[in-house]
């Protein structure tokens, strides 16, 4: 329990398994794959400018802030309550699986494919200026705001059982 601060400039693969309460701050400028498994309560802040694949598994309560300027694939699995803020300027594929209650804010200027699965019971705000394919699956019980700028790709948005194609 308490405060954990990690600064890991890694040139090889990094695997973190964190089961705890309190505040966690991670700064990982990694040139190899990074895998995070975080089961905890409190505040989590992640700063991962990664040039290799990043996999995050976060099961927790509290506030989560992610800043991931990734040049390789990013996979996020977030099962939690509270506030989630994601900033992912990715040049490769991004996959987000978010099962949670509370507020979710996503900022993903992606040049690769983006897949979002968000069964949310709170408000969701998405800002995705994408030039690659984007798939959204949002069975939401609260407000959803989508700001989507896409180029030369077809959209299929499934929202509350309705399908809209643009």
166 residues of the chain, pLDDT tens digit each: 667 777 777 777 777 777 777 777 777 777 777 777 777 777 777 777 777 777 777 777 777 777 777 777 777 777 777 777 777 777 777 777 777 777 777 777 777 777 777 776 777 777 766 667 777 766 666 676 666 655 444 444 444 444 444 4
Range of the domain at 31: 2-165
Contact yes or no for 32/12 (Cβ under 8 A): yes
pLDDT at 140: 65
What's CA 165's distance to the chain center, in Å?
A: 24
* Neighbour tally for 30: CB within 10 Å: 21
Distance CA 112, CA 125 (A): 20
For the chain, how many structural domains are there in total?
1
Instruction: Decide if 50 contacts 71 (C-beta within 8 A).
Output: yes
Q: Give strand pairing partners of 115.
A: 95, 135
- Count the neighbouring beta carbons within 10 Å of the beta carbon of residue 35: 15
pLDDT at 108: 75
């Amino acid at each position: 329990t308490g405060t954990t601060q990690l600064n890991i400039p890694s040139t090889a693969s990094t695997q973190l398994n964190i089961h705890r309460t309190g505040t966690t701050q991670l700064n990982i400028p990694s040139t190899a794959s990074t895998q995070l498994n975080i089961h905890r309560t409190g505040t989590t802040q992640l700063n991962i400018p990664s040039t290799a694949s990043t996999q995050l598994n976060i099961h927790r309560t509290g506030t989560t802030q992610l800043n991931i300027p990734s040049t390789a694939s990013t996979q996020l699995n977030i099962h939690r309550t509270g506030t989630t803020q994601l900033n992912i300027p990715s040049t490769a594929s991004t996959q987000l699986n978010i099962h949670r209650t509370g507020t979710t804010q996503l900022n993903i200027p992606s040049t690769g494919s983006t897949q979002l699965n968000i069964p949310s019971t709170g408000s969701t705000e998405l800002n995705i200026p994408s030039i690659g394919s984007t798939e959204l699956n949002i069975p939401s019980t609260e407000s959803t705001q989508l700001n989507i700028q896409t180029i030369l790709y077809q959209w299929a948005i499934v929202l509350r059982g309705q399908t809209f194609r643009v």
